[in-house]
Amino acid sequence: MTELTERTSSTEPRPRHRTAASGLVLAIVLTCQLMLMLDATVMNVALPRIQSDLGFSATGLSWVMTSYSLVFGGLLLLGGRAGDLFGRRRMFVLGTAVFTLASLAGGLSTSAGFLIAARVAQGVGAAMAGPSTIALITTTFTEAKARVRALSLFSAVASGGFAIGLIVGGLLTEWISWRAALFINVPFGLAIAVLAPRFVPAPPPRSAHLDVPGAVLGTLGVASLVLAFTQAASDGWGAPLTLAALAAGVVLLIAFVLLERRVAHPLVPLWLFAERNRAAAYASFFLGPMAMMSMFFFLTQFLQDVRHFAALATGFAFLPMAASIFTLSRLMPRLLARFGPKPLAVTGTVLMVSGVAWLSMLTPDSGYVAALLGPLLLMGVGGGLAFSPLNVIIMSTVPAEDAGAAGGVLQTMQQVGSTLGLGILVTVFGAATRSAAASGATGTPLLVDGMTAAFLAASGLAALTVGVALTFRRGKAATV
């Protein structure tokens, strides 16, 4: 990373001035990214009211969350390559428009099926726009310092957006309606779609072909694995559908990897994983969200169903975590230049593991200040240290023409990791509650037993990120 960024900063012309237009470009792109990240969690605190209004079953309610993240993550690779080939700004604007219309439709939903369909359409739009957000930052901010600062802000939005989504969702659900959590996307989406063609520069597209077979195999493979874990949570690992979905997912993903090795223009250029720091960054973006999303999902339920927090209070409970992540993002350019990625990643992942493990000790009587504030701060600081440098590591070491593919892989790791991790931990939750019920537990203690088991499993997943962090090369980044 150091050699490439030094070479980049010496060979690429520095901008003559930091124009207001550059700041506006960053504002447009980050607003879009924040909007996409918010919708992964903004519905969490509204789930009880959505279930009541639209008649969702207890098992079907999770698809309000999963349908968006699954489609978003499954199509990101195709969206990233499409941006490289057809124009990143074009895909950015088109994806934002699709996402905005789907948000409007979701807010007008009159049935459970209609809302799920709208969430799927949101995922399609997000997958079209998402990879181009980070690629447009990389190609717009060519000067090394400006690029690192922009990517650090992008990291803060990508990591902190999940927590902010809970806060926004709580505000809107409590003050207006759960539908407002979808309607709020409309004015921002329209503003982005209008301003982007005027102010965001359009890198030239490349002449190549889309890897549609690869997109089909990759998306179906991930969807099959998520279905397997979801079914295991309710029916057990011996159920025919669980076993069939698991086998299909493994076979499809193996076929996907084999195909990507042979096609001329793969969705996932395998050379992206050849450089050690970049491969470790991708692995961290996969493993970290596996643990983080369980925290959002189960802790939201703990606050509302066990501690009886209102939607607004539940959202604000995550404010310390969001504030920690954004504070670290502002310091990241200096920290990365001084220490390099390895010490930051190791320290951050250890703090994150400590925070999740702390949550595994919750009881039905646990209070916010005594039992939740500490873990949330640890995960906020840990997540800020561990994940903020990763965008810089990845995007500073790829050619500009492959920025869309690299960004698509990055966000795919994040989305698929969070979706698959939630499937795994819901399975753990289901097994733990069945075991506790067999021992005579009922009501709130039964629910908390399942949650603490899920948090303990999540701490094991988070511990894997510590091992990955140890593989980063030593050395300071020469980007700032």
Vertex 265 angle, CA 261 and 271, to 5°: 50
Measure the CA–CA gap between 238 and 219, rounded to whole angstroms: 24
Chain centroid to CA 434: 30
Q: Which pLDDT belongs to residue 475?
A: 57
Terminal CA-to-CA distance of the chain, rounded, Å?
12
Measure the CA–CA gap between 362 and 261, rounded to whole angstroms: 46
From first to last of its 480 residues, the chain has per-residue pLDDT tens of 433 343 333 333 444 444 456 778 888 888 888 888 777 777 777 777 887 788 776 656 777 777 787 777 777 777 777 777 777 788 889 999 999 999 999 889 888 888 889 999 998 898 888 877 877 777 777 676 777 777 777 777 766 666 677 777 778 877 888 888 888 889 999 998 888 888 877 766 665 566 778 778 877 887 787 677 767 666 667 788 888 888 998 899 899 888 878 877 777 777 778 788 888 888 888 888 887 776 777 888 888 888 888 777 887 888 888 888 778 777 777 777 787 778 888 888 899 889 989 998 988 888 888 888 999 999 888 888 887 777 777 777 777 666 666 777 777 787 777 777 877 887 788 788 888 787 777 778 888 888 888 899 888 888 888 888 888 876 554 343
Kindly state the DSSP code that residue 14 receives in the 8-state scheme: P
Q: Which pLDDT belongs to residue 4?
A: 38
Alpha helices in 176-275 (DSSP H): 180-183, 185-199, 212-235, 240-260
Measure the CA–CA gap between 171 and 417, rounded to whole angstroms: 28
Measure the CA–CA gap between 424 and 176, rounded to whole angstroms: 34
Least Cα distance to 251 among 227, 218, 202 occurs for 218
Q: Which pLDDT belongs to residue 160?
A: 66
pTM strictly above 0.85: no
CATH code, residues 2-11+20-202+265-469: 1.20.1250.20
For 94, residues 6+ apart whose C-beta sits below 8 A from its C-beta are 128, 129
Measure the CA–CA gap between 32 and 126, rounded to whole angstroms: 9
Measure the CA–CA gap between 71 and 116, rounded to whole angstroms: 11
Listed as own residue / partner, the contacts of 6-14 with beta carbons closer than 8 Å and 24 or more positions apart are: 6/478, 8/142, 8/144, 8/396, 9/143, 9/144, 9/479, 12/142, 12/143, 13/142, 14/143
Q: For the chain, which residues make up each domain, given as ranges?
A: 2-11+20-202+265-469, 211-262
Measure the CA–CA gap between 159 and 391, rounded to whole angstroms: 11
Measure the CA–CA gap between 329 and 377, rounded to whole angstroms: 15
Structure tokens at 43: 């519905």
CB 293 within 8 A of CB 123: no
In one letter, which amino acid is 429?
F
- Burial grade of 60 (CB within 10 A; 0-12, 13-18, 19 or more): middle
Measure the CA–CA gap between 84 and 292, rounded to whole angstroms: 30
